[in-house]
Structure 1
Amino acid sequence: MEKEQELFASIVKKMSRHKGVKAGRMMSAPGITSGGKVFAFYWKKEMIFRLGKEFDAVAFGLKEWHLLNPFKERPPMAGWFCVPYSESRHWEELARRALKALRASGPSV
């Protein structure tokens, strides 16, 4: 297992301690869910977080990031932030923030 995958697996294990949080899938990639909704996943050696449109990556302190753009003919997905392993020191905190954002978005989670 690669170092990026190992770190992701460690974060899944830690996040699973929160009520209702478990491993899941997103776009055939391993993810983390709450209430059946994905809030973070691992894809192409990056972690992708659903942080919302109002999240300010620069103010948070990220130097490297980009919005998720899995489609050739569509714009990037607003609110989904891709963070490379070079910024992995932030992955765990971003996962917690993504869970918090998901839970704040509605009563179903």
Structure 2
Amino acid sequence: MAFEKFSEIREKYCITHVEVTEGKMMSSPAIHYKKKVFAFLSKNHTMVFKLGKDFPIETLDIALSEFSPFKTKKPLGGWYEARFEDHGQWETLTELALNRIQEDI
């Protein structure tokens, strides 16, 4: 289910945005903008978004957690994950992540 929802979002963004492409992030399926990852599906079926360290996640109506793929290292700064239970918000978060990376590049 998670992969299907992710794939649906990725396909839509690849069709509607010229510089958005499919890719990988840590062996997981990802969405790239100008070859830079801004969202991907993690191995535990959450979707992960690069929103930036200063993004006010408390303003969103969804519980996000910092993405921490390593047991002994701190979380990846500016990356947040949303559970599959919140997949109804994944597309909104994808749009926020795309807007952020467009500003940064």
2:102 alignment partner in structure 1? 103
Residue in structure 2 matched with residue 53 of structure 1 by the alignment: 53
**Shift of residue 54 of structure 1?**
1.6
CA deviations 1:29-80 (Å, max 9, x no partner) are 00000111000000121000000112222211113x2111112221111210
Amino acid at match of 1:88: H
* Separation (CA, whole Å) in 2 of partners of 1:58 and 1:88: 18
- What corresponds to 2:81 in structure 1? 82
One-letter code of the match for 2:26? M
Q: Deviations over 1:5-49 (max 9, x none)?
A: 110000001111212101100000000001110000001210000
Give the TM-score taking structure 1 as reference length.
0.89
Q: When you count strand as a share of all residues, which structure comes out higher? A: 1
Equivalenced residues, count:
103
Amino acid at match of 2:59: A
Equivalence for 1:6: 4
- Secondary structure at 1:52 match in 2: coil
**Normalised TM-score (structure 2):** 0.93
- 2:53 is paired with a residue of what secondary structure? coil
Paired residue secondary structure (2:78) = strand
Separation in 1, partners of 2:46, 2:59:
20
1-side partners of 2:67 and 2:2: how far apart?
18
Structure 1 residue identity aligned to 2:58 = V
